[in-house]
């Protein structure tokens, strides 16, 4: 769907970004996270296509993995800034979970 946004900042380093969160049903019908990803929005006018590598957080132990699968409460980020900044993510265990392709029409 079309998005119309205006940005203003004194320091444009690292923005604008679009953060994508994909959710879907699991085996039991619970709505769980399927992946997170972020990409910088291009500045130049024209049509741009970007492919976002998606990732999903993982539990650290086998017991936590089984418990989260059984209860339907999988690990997920509570703040989307974690995905956009990347700061502090080096201590987070994640698994690659496919790709999302986005097309931008910049005027």
How far apart, in whole angstroms, are the C-alpha atoms of residue 2 and residue 79? Answer: 24
Band the pLDDT of 10: cuts 50, 70, 90. low
Q: Is 67 part of any domain?
A: yes
Cis check for the bond before 16: say yes or no (omega within 30 of 0).
yes
> By residue range, what is the domain housing residue 32?
17-106
pTM for this entry = 0.74
Q: What is the DSSP letter of 72?
A: T
Per residue in 19-30, pLDDT (tens digit) is 888 888 887 787
How far apart, in whole angstroms, are the C-alpha atoms of residue 106 and residue 45? Answer: 5
Q: Is 52 part of any domain?
A: yes
Look at the alpha carbons of 99, 69, 64, 77 in this order and tell me if their dihedral is positive or negative.
positive
Per residue in 79-97, pLDDT (tens digit) is 777 787 767 667 778 888 8
In the chain, % of residues over pLDDT 70: 82
pLDDT at 101: 94
Q: Is 9 part of any domain?
A: no
pLDDT at 85: 76
Q: What total of structural domains would you count in the chain? A: 1
Q: Is 6 part of any domain?
A: no
Q: Is 11 part of any domain?
A: no
């Amino acid at each position: 769907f079309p998005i119309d946004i205006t940005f203003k900042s004194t320091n444009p380093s690292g923005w604008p970004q679009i953060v994508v969160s994909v959710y879907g049903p699991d085996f039991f019908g619970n709505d769980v996270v399927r992946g997170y990803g972020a990409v910088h929005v291009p500045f130049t006018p024209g049509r741009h296509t970007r492919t976002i590598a998606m990732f999903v957080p993982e539990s650290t132990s086998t017991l936590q993995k089984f418990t989260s699968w059984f209860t339907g409460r999988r690990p997920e980020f509570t703040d989307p800034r974690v995905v956009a900044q990347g700061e502090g993510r080096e201590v987070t265990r994640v698994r690659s979970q496919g790709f999302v392709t986005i097309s931008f029409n910049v005027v």
